[in-house]
Amino acid sequence: MLHHHTKGNPLRASILFAATTSLAIAGPALGNDRHVPTDDAKVGAEGWDSEIVVLGTRETPADPTLSSGKTTERMSQSSRSIERDLLAAAGAYRLADALELVSGVSNQNNRGGIMDNFAIRGFLGTPDGGAEYYVDGFLANRGMAPPRDPATAERIELLKGPSGALFGDIDPGGRVNLVSKTPRFERAASATFTYGSFDTKRVELDATGPLSSTLAARIVFAAEDSDGWRDFVTLRRRVVAPSLTWAPSDGARVTYIGEITQFDAPFDRGVPAIAGDANAVPRNLFYGEPGDGVTRFRNQRHQLTGVFGLGDGWTLNTGIAYRTGTLQGYSSDHTSLRADGRTLWRQRRLRDYSVDDLSARAELSGSVGAHQIAIGVKGYYLDYHDKYLRRSPNASAPYAIDVYAPVYGGTAPTPVPFVDNREKRWAGTVYVQDMWDVTGRLTLLGGLRIDPYRQRLRNNLTGVTGRNVDAPVNGRVGARYRVSDVLALHANWGESFLLNSGTDRNGDGFAPERGHGYEIGASAAWRGVNLAATWFDITKQGILTNDPTDPGYLAPVGKLTSHGIEFDASANLDRHWQVVANYAWTHARTDDATFATDRVLDVPTHSGTLFLVGRYLDADGRGPSLSGGVTYVGDRAGAIDTSGLVLPAYAKAKAAAEYAFSPRVSVRLEADNLFDAHYAQSSYSPVWVFPGAPRTVRASLKIRV
């Protein structure tokens, strides 16, 4: 367990702890010369026995207990897997940085800087909980979770369309799955030290190796401290991820992965728009109160997965995961900009959230003739306590701040109980699917699932308890036709179901989100070149967004429809250069007269990225590498109230240069937002606009042993 209060320098203490543990793992490995299984043969997209497109170089074979399965990969031609080397080349220090490399993903409200949130194909996560994503095939932010640190990820899979889901889950838009680093049976260790703009200090340690011929261990540690680019908005982040793999035979593999995270930062609602201009005020100005201190996020994950060969091509894939977390802290949040255009009223809040989430799954899969069959069961128990206190401003106690000349330290009002909900869920899933290779070119897919659940939501302020019990049935179908060895066509259709948390402004709970949609597309692959184009059309009901009557609450959208086309490409231009490119046209609209606009919050009509990596290494692994790219995001709705706020389009460039003095030592210099564009990254309301970061420069040293 990590402790927030550490004598002396907390960063130094954390580094020493991880370094000592790393040596304990790597030390025996360095002296172990016995033959052990090898699991790190390098493979690229054209050499990997998989049909999901791999962006970068895959260092290790995919563990089927953590990654997408054979059926998902075969039927998801629009899906992409972003590998570790490309994440490093792109300088992906945040999940949002990585998702720029795949089409159709847009930034959403980050809830004061304390969560990852994005939309896929125009469909948002909830403003409070964020977009749901998986880690190793388990839903990892049900209720809430801190921002992900990519140091723990081996790859990030963006699985699109109704086939883009794991272990029976279905969503017409798609899912993100982060695959954790796991132990290898070959010794390796590395340390990366980074210093950058705004006095940012970051350390990453990674050590792995065999403990015996059947047991291997790994530990990953990352620590980051920063003064931040916004006034008074500091950052302190720690993550420790130990793991063990036991492989008693070729047909059995069991892996434990743990993850302990601390994330401390002031709750930051960004800046207000002035007269419809989201970029009117300096992006560094902070309108909360430094005296509120930081919001502290604590999160632990522990999971155990296993895959067992049963013979005759049949496999049992099992797993269990437990996650617990808390979020606590004060904040002073903007509520309204007064008529003078510079006086910002604020409310004081105290958040005190907690979550316990226990999940389990088992899937039996195998072949019967030309049929690849999967039968699975899943279940989870969620206990989520959503509690916060607030004090709203009024004319006699506005708790105001000047937008252009903020002065801090005013008398803070004492918040009073406002929301205190305790939600408990018991949910299960039983599913079956069949992928049928009708001919050598045609593959068909059919799947059906039933999701019995019981949801209980108690309002502790009123004593009212609401219950929701149901067992919906959903299905999906798909087809893939290989026209030639180069060209393939695909089509998928699916239905979705998702439980919603929280209450509306009347204290009532929400009905589940329901959806259906399809995609059709084509993909082409030559040696070193992958192209894909996909058309999608999706409709959902019951999606939560901020209430246009009172943005302090949530409200469901009557119906949200999104259709569009996406293009993704990756190519090795020669033996040195690789290019990754994407473009998305997304037409997302709501059909709900309650909202003043039919545009969907923070979803651009046009977006795209072009990124290049060049490596000039000699036979001894020495030499330079260059990378750079540009991301374009079109204008987006910045509010769904009568203000009509629009966030203007922007383009953001990045570049990096790296030099390897040997396979063991390299240095890197990188810059994000290279030309210092001033832009609004996302918005929740006209007074909660989160600005994009200014030019950020980082230098790092990496040592491998």
**Range 559-587 average pLDDT:** 93
**What's the confidence (pLDDT) of residue 498?**
82
- Can you tell me the distance from the alpha carbon of 346 to that of 342, in angstroms, rounded to the nearest whole number? 13
Two tokens at 128? 């409070």
Reply yes or no on whether the pLDDT at 434 is more than 70. Answer: yes
- Can you tell me the distance from the alpha carbon of 535 to that of 491, in angstroms, rounded to the nearest whole number? 9
Q: DSSP for 335-354?
A: EEE-TTSSEEEEEEEEEEEE
Phi, psi of 614 (to 5 degrees): -125, 130
**82 dihedral zone (left: phi>0; alpha: psi -120 to 50; beta):** beta
Two tokens at 87? 């994440």
CB 34 within 8 A of CB 559: no
Largest CA distance in the chain: 77
Two tokens at 182? 């796991």
- Bigger pLDDT: 184 or 559? 184
Over residues 94-104, the pLDDT tens digits come to 999 999 999 99
Phi, psi of 472 (to 5 degrees): -65, 150
- Can you tell me the distance from the alpha carbon of 583 to that of 47, in angstroms, rounded to the nearest whole number? 26
- Distance between the two ends of the chain, CA-based, in angstroms? 28
Q: DSSP for 431-452?
A: EEEEEEE-SSSEEEEEEEEE--
- Can you tell me the distance from the alpha carbon of 38 to that of 36, in angstroms, rounded to the nearest whole number? 6
Least confident of 24-28, 111-115, 404-408, 683-687: 24-28
User: Which DSSP letter does residue 542 get?
Assistant: S
3-state class of 64 per DSSP? Answer: coil
Two tokens at 346? 């604020």
* CB-count exposure of residue 344 (10 Å: 0-12, 13-18, 19+): buried
Over residues 214-243, the pLDDT tens digits come to 999 999 999 999 999 999 999 999 999 999
Q: Which residues pair with 531 in a beta bridge?
A: 524, 569
Q: Which residues pair with 132 in a beta bridge?
A: none
Nearest 10 degrees: Cα torsion 515, 520, 524, 528: -10
Distances in whole angstroms, Cα of residue 646 to Cα of each of 317, 337, 384: 47, 17, 34
Over residues 600-627, the pLDDT tens digits come to 889 999 999 999 999 999 988 899 999 9
Model confidence at 662, pLDDT cuts 50, 70, 90, reads very high
Domain 53-704 belongs to what topology? Maltoporin; Chain A (2.40.170)
Model confidence at 51, pLDDT cuts 50, 70, 90, reads low
User: Which DSSP letter does residue 675 get?
Assistant: T
**What's the confidence (pLDDT) of residue 15?**
44
3-state class of 85 per DSSP? Answer: helix
**Range 77-84 average pLDDT:** 88
Reply yes or no on whether the pLDDT at 21 is more than 60. Answer: no
Reply yes or no on whether the pLDDT at 3 is more than 70. Answer: no
Amino acid identity for residue 699 in this structure: A
Buried b (16+ CB within 10 A) or exposed e, 304-323: bbbbeeeeeeebebbbbbbb
Q: Which residues pair with 368 in a beta bridge?
A: 371
- Can you tell me the distance from the alpha carbon of 356 to that of 444, in angstroms, rounded to the nearest whole number? 39
**Range 673-695 average pLDDT:** 95
**122 dihedral zone (left: phi>0; alpha: psi -120 to 50; beta):** left
- Can you tell me the distance from the alpha carbon of 109 to that of 684, in angstroms, rounded to the nearest whole number? 6
CB 545 within 8 A of CB 573: no
Whole-model pTM: value is: 0.89
Q: Looking at beta carbons, which pairs linking 375-378 to residues 24 or more positions away fall under 8 Å?
A: 375/431, 375/432, 376/167, 376/168, 376/429, 376/430, 376/431, 376/432, 377/428, 377/429, 377/430, 377/431, 378/167, 378/168, 378/428, 378/429, 378/431
Task: Kindly give the pairing relationship between strand 401-402 and strand 453-459.
Answer: unpaired
Q: Which residues pair with 252 in a beta bridge?
A: 249, 308
Q: pLDDT above 90 covers what percent of the chain?
A: 68
**Range 428-440 average pLDDT:** 93
Distances in whole angstroms, Cα of residue 157 to Cα of each of 67, 101, 134, 389, 478: 8, 11, 9, 38, 20
CB 598 within 8 A of CB 629: no
Over residues 153-195, the pLDDT tens digits come to 999 999 888 876 666 677 888 889 999 999 999 999 999 999 9
Q: Measured on CA atoms in the order 450, 451, 454, 455, is the torsion positive or negative?
A: negative
CB 130 within 8 A of CB 107: no
- Can you tell me the distance from the alpha carbon of 597 to that of 589, in angstroms, rounded to the nearest whole number? 9
Model confidence at 551, pLDDT cuts 50, 70, 90, reads low
Q: DSSP for 73-99?
A: HHH-TT-EEEEHHHHHHTT--SHHHHH
